[in-house]
Amino acid sequence: MSAFCAANQLKLEVLVYDNNGPLFEDLASGHIDVAGGHLTVTKDRLQRFKFTQPINNTSVSLVTHYEYRDIEQLSELNGARGFLLKGSSYVDYLTQFNAQQQKNITISDDHSLFDIIREINSKNIDFTLGDSEIITIYQNFIPGLYTPVQVSNNQKVALMTHHNQSTVLLEKLNQFIVDKAQSGLFETFKEQLLSYIPDIDTANTVTFFKKLQTVWPEVRDWVYAVAKALDFDPMLLAAISYQESHWDVDATSITGVKGLMMLTRYTAKEMGVTDRTDPIQSLQGGVKYFRTMKNKLPERIRDTDRTKLALAAYNMGYGHLEDARILTQRNGKNPDLWSDVKNYLPQLNNPDVANTLKHGTADGKTARTYVENIMIFRKLMAWQQQKDKN
């Protein structure tokens, strides 16, 4: 939608919904003009709304856990507990379950699909239905998800407008979709989306969600207070402190780093921290040190890349980051792009390569994982923050 609005000199305001119920209510009332988010074209929706030209295709699959991973048909789910999203197209497939199974299926408007998927991972729920492409993305974050049965054939995915919406908007949307489909824009968007999925161990996200429920409430006020005082992104600060210490204010490593932000004695002194186990001081020191790393980077580097490169420097030292950037440039790639630099960080673990550089060997593999983990934890924190607001 941002590309469409930019092309038509329109202002874009994005509203996020946990599920389709409130989304459809706001679309029907005219509170919003266009609805998106992997919405399939169904007969029921065609009676209530207008659809644009399709932007994608998908299919609906059964989503379940390990115990049902080998089933071949829905009838094998007898006794299993299911959840479906109210207002979703998945409810249309209720008739594919027998009468007894339907009694064990809850139609919920209090959850998002992500909530239900997490409950399946915990085996509090046995199954749900979901779009294959969405589930493929979730499988990068949550382990133990299986899709043994495809419930539907391919379906069209499109944007929706309400019936009273001006035909001019729909016509412009359709023309934009046709033009950009031919130019390959939508395939590019899909590739970009997948490129943002880091190589993260799904077990790490399970631990993260547990800590989010149990430990985060204890440190939340400190993180928000420091972020506000220092004009820093609170979700990024939350993600860094989680990656460093799992939000343990008394954390200490075998190398002697301590506190929420796991500061060394030298770094703490440089940043004016007198007590590394004091949560406020630790967070303040971490922000100051991160900004020190970020400010050393050339101003020409765009902010998203500067943030990731600065995080790598926070983890392994600025000198080693510069070595990685030099190595990236030696190989004909762009030293200002994280997507290029991250591919050469692991070579710092190789003495034959690292000893040709100024600062020698370093654990570049860990630094790359460190950055990727923080960026996904930041996204998950932002998702949680949005959910709390709603």
Active site residues: 244
Provide φ and ψ at 101, rounded to 5°: -65, -40
Tokens coding 267:
């770094």
* Alpha carbon 156 to chain centroid, angstroms: 24
Using CA atoms, how far residue 259 sits from 252, 254, 311, in Å, is 7, 13, 18
Sign of torsion over alpha carbons 287, 292, 294, 299: positive
Q: How many H helices and E strands in the chain?
A: 18, 8
Could you tell me whether strands 105-108 and 82-85 are parallel, antiparallel, or unpaired per DSSP bridges?
parallel
Residue 53 exposed, middle or buried by CB count within 10 Å (0-12, 13-18, 19+) = middle
What residues contact 366, with CB distance under 8 A and at least 6 apart?
315, 316
Rounded to whole angstroms, the Cα distance separating 76 from 96 reads: 12
Provide φ and ψ at 61, rounded to 5°: -125, 155
Rounded to whole angstroms, the Cα distance separating 166 from 168 reads: 5
Rounded to whole angstroms, the Cα distance separating 12 from 232 reads: 25
> Helix 303-316 and helix 234-245: axis angle, to 10°?
30
DSSP 25-86: HHHHHTS-S-EEEEEEP-HHHHHHEEE-S--EEE-EEEEE-GGGTT--SGGGGTT--EEEET
Helix ranges, 251-363 (H): 265-270, 279-296, 303-316, 318-330, 338-341, 351-354
Sign of torsion over alpha carbons 321, 322, 328, 333: positive
Provide φ and ψ at 112, rounded to 5°: -100, 165
Rounded to whole angstroms, the Cα distance separating 133 from 242 reads: 29
